[in-house]
């Protein structure tokens, strides 16, 4: 009797991505791994995107439609409906190379301690320039100081359940990093396939871009939520924070030493004096 390979459920949340969703879905359907299902969650998209989703619906396993609730909720809804042992989340404006699922499942089979499988990524900018991004992977000690895997990585559904899924209160970003912290909190590692098997579009409206604008609020949330981890690693955490402060201060000092900053300061000085007279 032929062994049936474990199913991989590829979950694609979609919000107003009519321009790119077909390419994302195609990359999921074209995986060389034979046992997959593709679930798209329409998170309250506009009319144009809904028209595209209706066109591709016959090609996919499930199309779930909901009012806009954010990426965390959309991912949880899709994963909850998934039948696969393995979950691969995919952003609707990005795409995987065809061999990713096959290589990722093989990695899981090689080592029981692996909880997350990720890969290198090609960053695709608006001007079509490309840049290679290499996540570090590792265990919880690495992840408490930054996300060391792509947000679009593979993990087991049972581990998603054990970690209680994505935090649906996090709608400004970093929800994948925070989820990975909980996924690895009880042990295990994230493995990085040393190939660029993922293409990530760097857009001004991307989740990562929005998250960086709210960076300090999000860091405060994560540091507070996982206070026990940072307290137990207090010396490294202190060093981490001081290094960050030093880099910011160095950047500010270098900026102030630039000639254009100095010229601007000279020009503005008399204007500031006049303004002070009217206070």
- Band (pLDDT 50/70/90 cuts) for residue 246 is confident
Asked if the model's pLDDT at residue 147 lies above 90, the reply is yes
Closest by CA position to 78, among listed 46, 104, 131, 40: 40
**Whether residue 73 has pLDDT greater than 80:** yes
Q: pTM of the predicted model, to two decimals?
A: 0.85
- 123: its two tokens: 């960053």
Distance CA 165, CA 109 (A): 23
Name which of 86, 75, 76 is nearest 114 in CA terms.
86
Q: How many residues does the chain have?
A: 279
pLDDT at 248 over 60: yes
pLDDT (mean) for 107-118 = 97
Q: With bands split at pLDDT 50, 70 and 90, how would you rate the model's confidence at 215?
A: confident
Residue 241: band (very low, low, confident or very high) from pLDDT cuts 50, 70, 90: confident
With a cut of 90, say whether residue 2 has pLDDT above it: no
pLDDT at 249: 80
Report d(CA 173, CA 211) in Å as an integer.
4
pLDDT on residue 251: 73
CA 40, 57, 120, 99 dihedral sign is positive
Residue of 46, 24, 35 lying closest to 200 (CA atoms): 24
- The residue with tokens 């404006």 is 93
pLDDT at 273: 45
Q: Are 63 and 72 in contact (CB under 8 A)?
A: no
Mean pLDDT of the chain: 90
The whole-number pLDDT of residue 222 equals 96
In tens, the pLDDT along 155-207 reads: 999 999 999 999 999 999 999 999 999 999 999 999 999 999 999 999 765 55
pLDDT over 70, % of the chain: 85
What average pLDDT does the segment 9-31 reach?
A: 97
Residue 56 pLDDT > 50:
yes
Q: Is the pLDDT of residue 34 over 90?
A: yes
pLDDT of residue 278: 45
Q: Reply yes or no on whether the pLDDT at 78 is more than 50.
A: yes
Question: Is residue 272 scored above 60 in pLDDT?
Answer: no
């Amino acid at each position: 009797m032929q062994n049936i390979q474990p199913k991989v459920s590829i979950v694609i949340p979609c919000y107003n991505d009519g321009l790119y969703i077909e390419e994302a879905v195609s990359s999921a359907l074209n995986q060389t791994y034979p046992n997959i299902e593709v679930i798209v969650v329409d998170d309250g998209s506009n009319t144009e995107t809904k028209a595209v989703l209706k066109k591709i619906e016959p090609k996919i396993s499930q199309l779930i439609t909901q009012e806009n609730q954010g990426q965390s909720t959309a991912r949880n809804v899709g994963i909850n409906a998934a039948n696969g042992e393995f979950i691969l989340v995919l952003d609707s404006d990005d795409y995987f190379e065809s061999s990713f699922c096959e290589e990722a499942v093989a990695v899981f089979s090689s080592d029981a301690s692996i909880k997350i499988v990720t890969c290198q990524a090609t960053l695709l900018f608006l001007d079509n320039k490309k840049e290679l991004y290499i996540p570090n992977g590792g265990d919880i000690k690495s992840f408490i100081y930054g996300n060391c895997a792509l947000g679009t990585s593979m993990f087991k559904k049972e581990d998603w359940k054990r970690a209680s899924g994505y935090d649906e209160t996090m709608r400004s970003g970093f929800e994948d990093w925070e989820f990975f912290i909980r996924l690895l909190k009880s042990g295990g590692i994230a493995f990085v396939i040393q190939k660029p098997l993922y293409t990530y579009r760097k857009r001004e409206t991307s989740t990562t871009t929005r998250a960086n604008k709210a960076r300090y609020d999000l860091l405060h949330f994560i540091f507070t939520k996982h206070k026990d981890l940072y307290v137990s690693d207090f010396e490294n955490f202190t060093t981490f924070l001081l290094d960050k402060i030093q880099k910011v201060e160095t950047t500010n000092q270098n900026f102030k030493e630039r000639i254009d900053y100095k010229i601007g300061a000279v020009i503005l000085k008399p204007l500031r004096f006049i303004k002070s007279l009217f206070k």
